[in-house]
Structure 1
């Protein structure tokens, strides 16, 4: 490799300023060791704080389009790289890393821009795609073709949703359809990673490729039985292989793997490489299935009725970046509403990285972290099974030599670290009691993360909450997010770090009971940081009917115990396309708990406004009566909604009811209020 040419380009575009790597830039072996793939070996990469990656590849001569298409397909499957730079002494080509791979003409279809003369084009290249252009969002405004809507996660989740609907329409129960899809994805992952070879498949069931096996029902039964015996964890329990799905169901899944259009029967291009796709993306399948569930009679899906909203990987990174900063890797993690385990998978990966201290992790280290440090609870058995599946995949991905039979022998997670049950009562009986109850009280964890249900579930939900409510503790009037925070605190110690996604309503509501509940929670887990995500909900939580915040607590050792740091993440034109966040110093405001208690409106002002808005609020409240006090002078009670004035026929018209008042009445009311 001609490092001089590559370094010249990186220096001119801000990735290697003054000969020193910019934050996030990795060169040579460091760049190559940070990913695994098939044929693509980057010479450099730059990773932003939100995990978006730009890859740089140098070649002595401009590579053929077919080779570029192979590289780009890998980059697309990785899911986090919107841009691939291919650099040669003759030219620089920029390719769209989010564009769905095509069977023919892929490289030219996804070529964004070609710079023929490097010396003359470096300034123009820097303005288009340099580090500053990427970080400020200028790049995204200039290149609308790069969009998350065509990235691997959106494409895969859409295709799996269609596959599931076809299976259900073919009279396969929905949970059985999900189980079949999960087993097939896991098997294809083992094949793509060459953990299970074609020769082994031939010995087990007489076929060498998974689609051919699925088209042969007896061969499928043999394969699933072998996997259940070999992979002795929770993904293939004995009960899952007692009944092999019908031949037409297996054929439909085989068609998915062969990229056969179910309507036309025509072959297309199968873009997926399951050995490259991040495991945390696969773990989000359950949430996507839950939200894709067909509505019946106009009713919302079960997930939406329960206030469950799909957790995007960008939010997972935001939460874990904060709560895991500066840790040793020996800490324990709990998610009381873990769903398919998206938080747990990424936490496992980071804990292993921290424990290995820059060295290749051993299988013993990976397994001890998996079995002893990562815990999850969910009321859905299907979700817990997907969480187990995802954690096993993550452990295999981290394994330096994942070859059978030893690498496939896992201990069960369900009933040990993954528990099926209601988070409110999980420790009272069964597996939960054995795992979470100790002689001195509940088991304590070092990190508590998650995205608990947000929604208000009407009278039934209220009755259920009353049964577990602690006397004297202010309760959130609508919704149960704060209940989960208080419940999570029961599993904490004084240094436990929290990172929990919640509805913003109780924090920004004018309701007295809502604010009392929010302030009680803030004092219980102080010091805290509130990150307001309300501006991003249109793409971050598209199914939610209310804004969102992230509650961080005790994650900054130097933060004062009475301090509340409020961060407002602003909307940006590129946010929905990049799934990234941009925060400036002006977006951060610090308050105290006493300030919020004295003037609750300050919390909302800090979350949606600027420091000048707080100054204006202070000025208004110190120099003027509030509306309730003003109306009391008119013998009118301040309540929510339309307030009617006194019933006496000669009563003055209050400012709260101007409709129907005569001019003289309005004048008299104003005179009286002065």
Structure 2
């Protein structure tokens, strides 16, 4: 990539961030398999990355000259289907034209041109990396559009009388089939084997006969690891379904196959239809993310109780990249996600392990090598059968995407993932269709074979505190944490530890210490509250973790709550990274607290700046309860000041204020989210302090 890298360096790109899609020896090509289907003629020439995410796609004007403006418009649309908040750059001699990628590009849009003979050319990539819009961005977000279409299809099926179980299974199967068609893994030549009743692949979900035949083919090809339908006699099931609800029941499934448009109140040309989506470029991680969100939208009470919220794929990919960076096990690392949901972390790990294998061997992984990673190196626990099935679909699609030659489909049969890779950890005797809190991964029923078995434990466990009726589960969590502390020789913690406020996420940190190999790595997304709690139990729990685990890094996302970095999550979050060993007195971890920068956070990005990274002693945090909060709100210089104040008195300002006559305190009114109707306040006077 020397020539392209040199040209991009003139526009401020760093050489190490540039990926040449013609360089078949670069392992990073696996991030862009959809762009290099034709090895000799990739869709674009190169990519400039930021923190391993695409920032600028680059194509030489000469490749577009024969196709004119229409090819630029189509490129902008196709690249937007990848879901990255990225840009398109067209290289001319001495000039770079910048376009926004756009799901609905305006043909009249002119590029913003940067000439090399102008000094600001050197700032193009740095400005894009800072989140600046160098061209007018598109108004549609792929994730929002995909979730809207999936929600509309699901709600339509429910409106016609399908159960939640049927709705999730039918839409999931249709989406999976659409992916196979969109990725060109199956073509019209396969139609006779799939369904003799359908006139085309798009018609495979259009009648009772074609539905039965297609779903039988899916089960045969993918070992039954698909979303389960209520009746395995598909011919009888689909005849009965259409007889009961009418042929309209197939309309949302036909829409998913791009034969129709989804019925949705207020739909307009400013929104996408199923036919607008290009499944050849749609990210599999995004599908897992949005489908998991949809699943819990259909069961709001279960969501509140189990606190299952999807993990944005870009956060999962960041955590995987950090956790596997220079990992001693390299491409052979064995990975566990103890709360895998729809498989966002497992998909990201699969891709990264394949990339590491490419890096170690110098050759793109073969189908055999990819299947070995899938079957032997990945494990996911979950209590929810639907979620595990969605994870299986995502892993199958990832294996097919990474396969250097995913044909013929008859040779693509997989080993069954359920029970081997994806493990049911629901409590014995529990209702398989109920989504309720349970001991799950941390229960005594989970096989001993997983103890000390993994080079990396990574994931996003539940966050929401258990309700009082689940006190027995909380008691089990405390017992499990104490047992693991005892195994690590931490006898005082083993005697006195209490799980604070019935939280479910901290017990998963202790569980990770048991599942990871000695010296293995742990990376978990957690609620951020444990970093700052000042109550005796909260501080004791934090102190215990810093005494039990060699934490190497914490990304404190408190300033990013209620932003698009993690949509729909109102509470602070943190990302914990650790080595699985008891720390020494000299051990330190790196604390990073990214600020909210609207230009970046509106694009779902965050700045992780090495200059803002603060090395902190684990022992200091264990001994000083205000340490992390002081470093978050202030600097290392404030640590001494706060320490001196605390040495003089343990009375807080709040305590002082409450007990002095004539002094009052309160929060006043606060600017809240837009989730509630506030029209009754219109026209009221604003009360202000003197």
Common fold, TM-score beyond 0.5?
yes
Given the alignment, which residue of 124, 133, 143 partners 2:127?
A: 133
1:260 aligned to 2:261? Answer: yes
Q: Please list the CA deviations of residues 529-568 of structure 1 after superposition, one character each: whole Å capped at 9, or x if unmatched.
A: 2210111121234433421111111189999763233221
Name the structure 1 match of 2:625.
Answer: 600
Name the structure 1 match of 2:137.
Answer: 146
Deviation at 1:177, TM superposition (A): 1.3
Question: Within 5 Å, which residues of 2 pair with 1:171-570?
Answer: 171-202=161-192, 204-235=195-226, 242=234, 243-244=237-238, 245-246=241-242, 247-256=247-256, 257-262=258-263, 270-293=275-298, 300-327=300-327, 328-356=330-358, 357=360, 358-422=362-426, 424=439, 426=441, 436-438=447-449, 442=451, 444-470=453-479, 472=495, 473-539=497-563, 540-554=565-579, 562-570=587-595
Q: Please list the CA deviations of residues 239-282 of structure 1 after superposition, one character each: whole Å capped at 9, or x if unmatched.
A: 56632353322222213423525269999762212122122112
Deviation at 1:414, TM superposition (A): 0.8
Cα RMSD of the aligned pairs, angstroms, is: 3.3
TM-score, length-normalised on structure 1? 0.82
Cα distance in 2 for partners of 1:458, 1:266 equals 43
Cα distance in 1 for partners of 2:551, 2:154 equals 45
Deviation at 1:411, TM superposition (A): 1.1
- More deviation in 467-476 or 64-73? 467-476
Cα distance in 2 for partners of 1:442, 1:610 equals 40
Cα distance in 1 for partners of 2:208, 2:268 equals 23
1:303 to 1:266, Cα distance in 2 relative to 1, 3 A: closer
Q: Please list the CA deviations of residues 313-339 of structure 1 after superposition, one character each: whole Å capped at 9, or x if unmatched.
A: 121122112110013111111111111
Name the structure 2 match of 1:166.
Answer: 156
Deviation at 1:466, TM superposition (A): 1.1
Gaps of 5+ in 1: 295-299, 631-640, 644-653, 663-674
- More deviation in 262-271 or 509-518? 262-271
TM-score, length-normalised on structure 2? 0.80
- SS class of match (1:627): coil
Cα distance in 2 for partners of 1:559, 1:598 equals 14
Name the structure 1 match of 2:683.
Answer: none
2:465·2:504 contact (CA, 8 Å) conserved in 1? yes
2:13·2:48 contact (CA, 8 Å) conserved in 1? yes
Name the structure 1 match of 2:10.
Answer: 12
* Larger-gyration structure (1/2): 1
Cα distance in 2 for partners of 1:215, 1:538 equals 41
Given the alignment, which residue of 6, 17, 38 partners 1:23?
A: 17
- More deviation in 567-576 or 508-517? 567-576
Cα distance in 2 for partners of 1:508, 1:316 equals 24
Given the alignment, which residue of 631, 638, 645 partners 1:620?
A: 645
Q: Please list the CA deviations of residues 153-184 of structure 1 after superposition, one character each: whole Å capped at 9, or x if unmatched.
A: 23212211221111111111122111111111
- More deviation in 454-463 or 27-36? 27-36
- SS class of match (1:284): helix
